[in-house]
């Protein structure tokens, strides 16, 4: 690499995903002919639905390959509004919905719209790692709230009040969450939103795993009455809808923010991918949603399979209510979860994600397991880990 050509300090400060190291090693082992069970990847193993492919093909044949408006196709914004009404009894006008290239872009847009350099964003440790990096890119400051199993690794209003500081503009939560799969009760979310409204701060709720819940109905904060103008939501076609590679998400924001979000979108990406938007129009049809419900049930079976196998192995696991993750406390097995992840990969052929990817707090005590593979493979993964641990 040339010595004198500059890379910005901001870019240098952005952290890598440690799981990529595991993924790289896993791929190398596979190339040598080793059978690797992948529990590290945070995306459904199912491909996107055939009906989506057909709809996108038709759109392509019809030449619908141009930019859409920056806020997204009007039909899709309407359809998402109908979706909120039908499934969540939530009244969300299309004018408050914007399509984005993945929810990743929605997160960046909202943060860009709200933060000045030095502004603070409160989030939990552990939580989805990219959020911290987005804040850094905008020269904001992260206020990290350590959370553990006593609050199912989620923020509570009490914790929020305890950790409150002047300068916090925004609080970010996810329900269900990555890496824990835990859910925040709606009553708690509403209390947080109210407290933040009194502080003139925003609450951003990441609902990207909405629909992937197992012992309870899927929910949205938007279904609550009398919410203030300070509630923001991001969502995505990636997880429940199984369309990670199509790079399409959406955000819901109060009307007063839409012009600035539109202006930022015009500059940052012009519009979300057009063909993905036609695919999304199709995936919101009842027959497609019925197929996705079957997939949700498949995840539920996988969750039960993995948890039962882990219980049989004698490991203590709390059952997460959503997403497709288990955040496994391995403190009785190691003081260094990242090393354990490597050892498990090399000796048991099972790839998992070290807690380090999600923050610092008790990160060395945790591994994230994604049940994004067949039940038989999940059982085999646990058996292989048990065998390895017994021979250490």
Ligand X SMILES: Cc1ncc(COP(=O)(O)O)c(C=O)c1O
Q: Which residues bind ligand X (CB under 6 A)?
A: 42, 102-104, 128, 174, 178, 206, 208, 236, 238, 244, 249
Q: Are 327 and 153 spatial neighbours (Cβ–Cβ below 8 Å)?
A: yes
Q: Minimum CB separation from ligand X for residue 148, in Å?
A: 19
In the bound state with ligand X, the residue whose beta carbon lies nearer, of 210 and 274, is 210
Cα gap 131→249, rounded to integer Å = 16
Q: Minimum CB separation from ligand X for residue 350, in Å?
A: 20
With the CA atoms of 341, 346, 348 and 350 taken in that order, what torsion angle do they form, in degrees rounded to the nearest 10? Answer: 50
In the bound state with ligand X, the residue whose beta carbon lies nearer, of 104 and 321, is 104
Helices 74-88 and 274-283 cross at an angle (nearest 10°) of 30
Q: 269, exposed or middle or buried, with CB in 10 Å at 0-12, 13-18, 19+? A: middle
Q: Minimum CB separation from ligand X for residue 373, in Å?
A: 17
Q: Minimum CB separation from ligand X for residue 277, in Å?
A: 14
Cα gap 39→378, rounded to integer Å = 8
Q: Minimum CB separation from ligand X for residue 343, in Å?
A: 25
In the bound state with ligand X, the residue whose beta carbon lies nearer, of 37 and 109, is 109
Q: Minimum CB separation from ligand X for residue 239, in Å?
A: 7
Question: Which residue of the chain is nearest ligand X when measured via CB?
Answer: 102
Phi and psi angles of residue 168, each rounded to the nearest 5 degrees, phi first:
-80, 120
In the bound state with ligand X, the residue whose beta carbon lies nearer, of 250 and 328, is 250
Neighbours of 308 (CB within 10 A): 15
In the bound state with ligand X, the residue whose beta carbon lies nearer, of 214 and 250, is 250
Q: Minimum CB separation from ligand X for residue 16, in Å?
A: 15
β-bridge mates for residue 173, sequence order: 205
**Across the beta sheet with 202-206, what order do the strands follow?**
97-100, 249-252, 231-236, 202-206, 168-174, 120-125, 141-146
Q: 12, exposed or middle or buried, with CB in 10 Å at 0-12, 13-18, 19+? A: exposed
> CA triplet 270, 177, 226: central angle to 5 degrees?
75
In the bound state with ligand X, the residue whose beta carbon lies nearer, of 243 and 385, is 243
In the bound state with ligand X, the residue whose beta carbon lies nearer, of 204 and 382, is 204
Cα distances from 78 to residues 103, 281, 329, in angstroms, run: 18, 10, 43
Q: Give the helix/strand (H/E) hosting 368.
A: strand 366-370
In the bound state with ligand X, the residue whose beta carbon lies nearer, of 247 and 364, is 247
Q: Minimum CB separation from ligand X for residue 211, in Å?
A: 13
Short-list 166, 224, 172, 222, CA closest to 202: 172
């Amino acid at each position: 690499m040339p010595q004198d050509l500059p890379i910005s300090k901001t870019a240098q400060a952005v952290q890598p995903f440690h799981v990529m190291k595991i993924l790289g090693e896993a791929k190398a082992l596979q190339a040598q002919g080793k059978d690797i069970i992948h529990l590290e990847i945070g995306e459904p193993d199912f491909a996107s639905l055939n009906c989506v492919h057909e709809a996108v093909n038709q759109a392509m044949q019809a030449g619908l390959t141009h930019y859409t408006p920056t806020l997204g196709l009007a039909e899709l914004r309407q359809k998402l509004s109908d979706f909120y009404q039908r499934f969540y009894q939530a009244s969300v006008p299309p004018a408050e919905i914007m399509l984005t290239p993945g929810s990743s872009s929605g997160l960046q847009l909202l943060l860009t719209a709200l933060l000045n350099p030095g502004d603070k964003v409160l989030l939990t440790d552990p939580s989805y790692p990219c959020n911290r990096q987005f804040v850094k890119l905008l020269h904001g400051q992260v206020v990290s709230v350590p959370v553990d199993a006593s609050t199912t690794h989620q923020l509570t209003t009490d914790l929020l009040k305890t950790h409150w500081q002047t300068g916090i503009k925004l609080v970010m939560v996810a329900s269900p969450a990555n890496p824990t799969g835990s859910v925040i009760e709606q009553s708690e979310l509403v209390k947080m939103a109210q407290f933040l409204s009194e502080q003139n701060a925003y609450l951003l709720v990441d609902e990207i795993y909405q629909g992937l819940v197992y012992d309870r109905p899927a929910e949205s904060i938007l279904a609550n009455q009398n919410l203030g103008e300070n509630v923001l939501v991001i969502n995505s076609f990636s997880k429940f809808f199984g369309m990670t590679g199509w790079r399409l998400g959406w955000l819901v924001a109060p009307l007063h923010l839409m012009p600035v979000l539109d202006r930022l979108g015009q500059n940052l990406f012009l519009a979300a991918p057009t063909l993905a938007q036609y695919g999304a129009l199709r995936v919101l049809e009842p027959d497609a949603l019925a197929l996705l419900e079957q997939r949700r049930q498949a995840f539920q079976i996988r969750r039960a399979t993995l948890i039962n196998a882990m219980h049989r192995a004698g490991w203590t696991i709390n059952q997460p209510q959503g997403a497709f993750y288990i955040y496994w406390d391995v403190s009785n097995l190691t003081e260094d979860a990242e090393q354990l992840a490597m050892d498990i990969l090399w000796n048991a052929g099972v790839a998992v994600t070290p807690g380090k990817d999600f923050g610092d707090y008790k990160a060395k005590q945790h591994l994230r397991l994604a049940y994004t593979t067949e039940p038989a493979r999940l059982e085999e993964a646990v058996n292989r880990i048990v065998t390895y641990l017994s021979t250490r």
